[in-house]
Structure 1
């Protein structure tokens, strides 16, 4: 059987459409992953801060010890360097998140500041608040809380990841 030009054009169109759909699906998955990563970073922010605070405490304790008090069998250059790299990355992430949260706050209008307050109470302030406590403190209903929180995490995701988190096909 010989393919006609009509068949070739039809096959080409189907393949092109399928490839375009696959590309759109992959881009959507990447956007979803970035939104997930935004929430993951925010969820872990308090832990990052606590880790950085622990570093300060450990440094003070370490500096106050004499060389005789150190267990030299447990200390090696590789482990010290590895710990320093990990802690440096954690501190850099804390500073990054903190700066983006402040930029988000600064970008909010008077009407939008509630989204920032919800985000701050949910993820940033030192003492964690439950969703119910935030809802009561803001005098809003549950659906408004989740709508504002979802919008805030999407908006701050743009500050975290830039244009790559946006669906430009919807603009």
Structure 2
């Protein structure tokens, strides 16, 4: 019996999963143990997040609708000042086709993997490779932030006619950051 259990565990792979959001209806999971500053700024291979709907409701999630105030900290929780500010433009949706293509519709009990704009940084950091850091995520997604980039009428129609709900949640997490 012990041999059978050992064999089972040798074939099962365990991946780290960190729940980032605060509410229980929908889980937003980071499937890793740390973020890489190089990967964040590279932009060619963005982080994917697992989104799990734990309810019988259908949710609307705007992958760009997370209003965030993230920052880098040392392990003793001192905030690290960015070396250079990063100026960013704004993304805008112009019609319902853009909304249909961009918005995540998460059906009841469904799981999806998606790129979400929750790890944006407002500055460029020149971090010491010998030290350890933390990325403090602080993000909000709600009825206000989901329409900042457009889609007001499209989302209103989904909510009023189909009974969908806009995800209203916060992301508050501290994740190790590799320079």
Normalised by the size of structure 1, how large is the TM-score?
0.28
| Structure having the higher Rg | 1
Greater share of helix:
1
